[in-house]
Structure 1
């Protein structure tokens, strides 16, 4: 078994020549270009795909080569996957697979006679070998061609950095050098994943919410940080295409949550991180969060503040005009999101986040006397005390104090989710339910209060639009009062549940 460790980077078509002229590649050893033809196989039920297995035949030097790849580490364009290659003799042969669990699974599926072509890829590959310091080496492979499934096609245009010798951090170091002058962005999808998406037919981007990272009492501090960071990076990128498309507000919301959780992670691990690590990333994360936050505010204003009022008064022209003005501003905010995600700076941010997860200086944390349970316990207790202090000082007549409590609850909740496997299950879930309920009410109140400024911005000095704003405020007034009435009891309940 071999392990393929590579970093995939997307590159705009018009810059392929600029790539080959980059000093890093000019100084590297270029190998002869090749045309590669690949056919991917699966059962009619796509059982291999469901298992995270890719089965490929590649035409090479007049012969076919069989390759089996398994799901492995995949985040931020970086993948580390086991693979098995062997000549293809006219029938699929899995005897060389030395992973017992996979070998048993393949044997039980009785795949002989059930495998069929699903899609193919055809592309031209240019390859450079890059020698690095301390004996490290990697291949830079630029692929350009097509994924094909029947009459449907999808372009391939990506740079793969494949590790030959050394550590994965070298891949990000090279990517960072290239991205300093080229608009590269980590590509989270493999060619096989894109082929399966093509085979599934046209569809909207899939919303993605990543499951909780797997940590336990035996996970080292460095490994826990890496797992959570990669998990959040995958969540961020999984919602990127939908957020850029701008037709479904949920993608922007989930990208924003991923960014908040990333910032929360860096706050928790701040004392242990390399000095330049999180410090250089946090301002860039905040800037992206502001752009997404503006779009999210307009989404809430349109869908949760104005939409129910418009539904209640469908013939009111003042409300309809106000809704149109808000829709125009919402469209501009989403255009700003698409621009930010297409900006080269976003690609560099993703590369730097991936590089931090591979930073070997984090390994020093493994020898720290702080075992993960103790570190998590101290972090959670600090956030708990801060939240309870905010709760005790909260005043329903003071919107700023309620906002501070809402932020404290979010940060505590994210930390609980990070370290959930280290805590008693029932107690954790009960605490999360209490926090989520209170956060929901505080969030709804914040949205209602926060809507005043953009509504006034939409109305300007127009008397009819200002009347529409007043009508919307009156519509939501009872809901606003109900939240204010139940908040004191909910806050007291949180404080009392945490006593002792």
Structure 2
């Protein structure tokens, strides 16, 4: 398998094991890991160090992405933005490394098209290593270390596996599932690319914030993401080969096109087997996310958390709201209250309960 070398959480059903693993892979762990991997990668920007630093950065950025949705502290966006340029430059370099692996897998060393591709990728690798080195030098490690102390403290306000995180996962699921349906209808390269990104965002919420679900789903989520990732790799390889005119003749072009199409289609076929029909993985994942009234309840819980993080004295605000509700009830008395007013009162009540 060409992608997805990051190990998932253990599939053990024991919650204690899941929680112990989570402590070793929390935000503080990954932010410190970024600094360690920065020291490792600068030795030569080889494939493994580049991959390891991207994994650490991606973990931090995906955790920040989750908390941005529920915590208004601007430091989350600042941290995510700080790693964007480095992550992007490393991503381009990683793409070159992956294409080099694919060329070695799909063709013999004497293939003229393979030789042309590898020569182009070697030159491009040198350029991208220089750009990655510049991005690494610009990366503010002191500020990153300050965030590594501040931000993990804010994560303690909300326990992993809570209904709020399940609601966030449901949002990601709904978006990704819509992209899945579009890809199954149109089957275009762009549709599969968007699906890959949508599924990735859903997976990261589950991976970072729902340890029990990740213990059960982690293997399947990783597998289907890898399948879509490899489809994307093959699309990028074909686009690169045609862009640089790597084929010496039409016969060579047809042979490469067929080889890449066969590899691509085989992965799409496996993806379809896992995600279509009554046993679709999409339905398995949806079954453990909020249903019915739980959706509204979880949404209100998110609003309450957001308000509590914004309000310097949330307990005082709760007391004021309780007094307002008492006055409302007293004034209405025996009067008939409309269904809309009753619903609005219930909404206010839910946010302070």
The answer, yes or no, to whether TM exceeds 0.5 is yes
Residue of structure 2 aligned with 1:451, choices 228, 234, 237: 237
1:478 alignment partner in structure 2: 262
Question: Whose relative contact order is higher, 1 or 2, with alpha carbons under 8 Å and at least 6 apart?
Answer: 2
1:308 alignment partner in structure 2: 105
2:203 alignment partner in structure 1: 413
1:230 alignment partner in structure 2: 28
Q: Distance in 1 between matches of 2:71 and 2:284?
A: 34
Instruction: Return the structure number with greater helix share.
Output: 2
Contact 2:8-2:219 at 8 Å conserved across structures:
no
Q: Distance in 1 between matches of 2:23 and 2:67?
A: 8
1:323 alignment partner in structure 2: 118
Query: Residues 235 and 357 (structure 1 numbering): CA distance in 2 closer, same or farther, change over 3 Å?
Result: closer
2:90 alignment partner in structure 1: 292
Contact 2:176-2:202 at 8 Å conserved across structures:
yes
Residue of structure 1 aligned with 2:44, choices 236, 246, 254: 246
1:352 alignment partner in structure 2: 143
Residue of structure 2 aligned with 1:441, choices 218, 227, 243: 227
Please give the residue correspondences for 1:375-454 in structure 2 after superposition, counting only pairs within 5 Å.
Answer: 375-395=164-184, 397-421=187-211, 423=212, 428-454=214-240
Residue of structure 2 aligned with 1:498, choices 285, 293, 305: 285
2:12 alignment partner in structure 1: none
Contact 2:28-2:152 at 8 Å conserved across structures:
no
- TM-score if structure 1 supplies the norm length? 0.47
Q: How far 1:371 moved relative to its partner? A: 5.0
Instruction: Return the structure number with greater strand share.
Output: 1
Query: Residues 264 and 316 (structure 1 numbering): CA distance in 2 closer, same or farther, change over 3 Å?
Result: closer
Q: Distance in 1 between matches of 2:41 and 2:142?
A: 19
Query: Residues 489 and 359 (structure 1 numbering): CA distance in 2 closer, same or farther, change over 3 Å?
Result: same
Query: Residues 309 and 406 (structure 1 numbering): CA distance in 2 closer, same or farther, change over 3 Å?
Result: closer
Q: How far 1:211 moved relative to its partner? A: 8.9
- TM-score if structure 2 supplies the norm length? 0.64
Contact 2:67-2:76 at 8 Å conserved across structures:
no
Query: Residues 497 and 374 (structure 1 numbering): CA distance in 2 closer, same or farther, change over 3 Å?
Result: closer
2:132 alignment partner in structure 1: 337
Q: How far 1:249 moved relative to its partner? A: 0.8
Query: Residues 472 and 339 (structure 1 numbering): CA distance in 2 closer, same or farther, change over 3 Å?
Result: farther
Aligned residue pairs: how many? 270
Q: How far 1:271 moved relative to its partner? A: 4.2
Q: Distance in 2 between matches of 1:326 and 1:467?
A: 23
Residue of structure 2 aligned with 1:283, choices 59, 81, 88: 81
Q: Distance in 1 between matches of 2:179 and 2:53?
A: 27
Contact 1:318-1:465 at 8 Å conserved across structures:
no
Please give the residue correspondences for 1:196-211 in structure 2 after superposition, counting only pairs within 5 Å.
Answer: none
Secondary structure of the residue that 1:451 maps to in structure 2?
Answer: helix
Q: Which has more radius of gyration?
A: 1
Q: How far 1:482 moved relative to its partner? A: 1.7
Q: Given the alignment of the two structures, is residue 264 of structure 1 paired with residue 62 of structure 2, yes or no?
A: yes
Query: Residues 296 and 451 (structure 1 numbering): CA distance in 2 closer, same or farther, change over 3 Å?
Result: same
Secondary structure of the residue that 1:320 maps to in structure 2?
Answer: helix
Contact 1:441-1:483 at 8 Å conserved across structures:
yes
Question: Which consecutive residues of structure 2, in runs of 5 or more, have no partner in the other structure?
Answer: 10-14, 288-353
Q: Distance in 1 between matches of 2:275 and 2:151?
A: 44
Q: How far 1:420 moved relative to its partner? A: 4.7
1:119 alignment partner in structure 2: none
Which whole-Å deviations, capped at 9, do the CAs of 1:349-370 have from their partners, x for residues lacking one? Answer: x32232123338966x76x6x5
Contact 1:244-1:337 at 8 Å conserved across structures:
no
Q: How far 1:443 moved relative to its partner? A: 0.8
Secondary structure of the residue that 2:110 maps to in structure 1?
Answer: coil
Secondary structure of the residue that 2:187 maps to in structure 1?
Answer: coil
1:134 alignment partner in structure 2: none
Query: Residues 234 and 415 (structure 1 numbering): CA distance in 2 closer, same or farther, change over 3 Å?
Result: same
Computed over aligned residues only, the root mean square deviation of the Cα atoms, in angstroms, reads 3.6
Contact 1:310-1:320 at 8 Å conserved across structures:
no
